[in-house]
Amino acid sequence: MRAVSCSRELLLVFALLPVLPAMRLHSQQLPPVEPPKPMPVERSQATISTTTTEVLVPTLVEKPNGEIIYGLKAKDFILEDNGVPQKIRVQEEMDTAPVALVLAVELGGASVLEFDKLAKLGPLLDLFLSDPRSRVALVGFDSTQHLIQDFTHSGDEVNEELKNLQPGDGGAAILDTVSYSVNLLESQPRSYRRVLLLIGEKRDHGSKHTRPVALIKQIGESDVLVMSVSFSPSAAEFAHDVKDSGDDRTMNMVSTLVMMVKAFKKNVTKEMASMSGGEYTTFTGDKKFEARVVDAAKHARNRYLITFSPSNPAPGLHTIRVRTAEDYGARIVARANYWIGPE
């Protein structure tokens, strides 16, 4: 057995003898392997980067008698961002986009006394849903939020839910609910007018997940229009409509933010409406409540859509002021603030 094994090894050596010189010659002829060179990068690509912030400013222009002023163009408006006039664009056709609406109604605390009014709200939603593409979702809230009805075009479905609302606990987590509702609306197409109709009291009770600064930033970065209708108002607030277009806001970002956080604690529904360009109203009786909702629907659909790219896109809270180039004696309601996040 040992002899056979040696014979095989000798045969293998003789078989490889012609190949070894060729392998040695081939290895000598090949150049050494060079590491791969990096892809060339143009200097402009390496050093230049640009970002564009487009701010949407829904703006209502209304005569003293309540009539909407139509037909205004970009030259008819003056918009200032932190006191600096901006170059703007205006969508002249106002009532052409479908509406994505979240109806958020309070279920907790004393809101049970308003359930009879909410039960009659369904038919009024048709004012928001006149476009067949429009849709509405129903959110109830107490110390937490509940998606009662997902987005639908059927006002009847929402109406049935409104007739069967169940009392919640003693909470009114408005901050959490608005944040949740804004997220719902941002899931809808950007071509829609996104509207939050918030019905409840004016102060937050029980929000656990959202702080005022976080909500200010969220609303400031979105294009959601907040329309607030509050119950249990004081006499001084009864006839109040939001008219703040930034005139009385300070131009310092930090002090403005501090002021808004304090205002959120006093009347969060009013402040959110003002910030987004919406409106805050109050009601006591059935007729007043219905009139407030009708106004909210009309005003939400008949706003000029002003857009601009800030000349100074500094991160943080910005203050906006909108007015007309000529004095029409009109009431102007526009968003008062927006937020640019850090780079």
- Sign of the Cα pseudo-torsion (94, 305, 260, 220, in order): positive
Judge contact between 228 and 273, C-beta under 8 A.
yes
* Domains identified in the chain, total number: 1
In this predicted model, what pLDDT tens digit does every residue of 284-298 receive, in sequence order? 777 888 888 988 888
Residue 191 included in any domain = yes
- Location of structure tokens 């049970």: 112
Judge contact between 311 and 86, C-beta under 8 A.
yes
Residue 20 included in any domain = no
**65, exposed or middle or buried, with CB in 10 Å at 0-12, 13-18, 19+?**
exposed
pLDDT, position 185? 97
Task: Residue 336: give the domain boundaries.
Answer: 55-340
- CA 174-197-341 angle, to 5 degrees, is 65
- Picking from 54, 55, 106, the residue whose alpha carbon sits closest to that of residue 276 is 55
Distance CA 229, CA 268 (A): 12
pLDDT, position 287? 83
Residue 12 included in any domain = no
Residue 37 included in any domain = no
Residue 82 included in any domain = yes
pLDDT, position 211? 94
Residue 23 included in any domain = no
Ranges of beta strands (E only) in the chain are 55-62, 77-81, 84-85, 88-91, 99-106, 135-141, 145-152, 193-200, 225-230, 280-282, 304-308, 316-324, 331-334, 337-340
CATH number of the structural domain spanning residue 70: 3.40.50.410
Q: How many CA atoms lie within 13 A of 283 on its CB side?
A: 22
In this predicted model, what pLDDT tens digit does every residue of 71-125 receive, in sequence order? 999 999 999 999 999 999 998 666 778 999 999 999 987 788 899 999 988 888 8
Distances from the Cα of 312 to the Cαs of 1, 61, 114, in angstroms?
Answer: 92, 27, 46
pLDDT, position 216? 92
Beta strands at 99-106 and 135-141: parallel, antiparallel or unpaired: parallel
Q: Which pTM does this prediction carry?
A: 0.77
Residue 284 included in any domain = yes
Residue numbers in the chain where pLDDT is lower than 70: 1-52, 92-94, 232-254, 343
Q: For helices 174-186 and 253-276, what crossing angle results, to 10°?
A: 70
Residue 240 included in any domain = yes
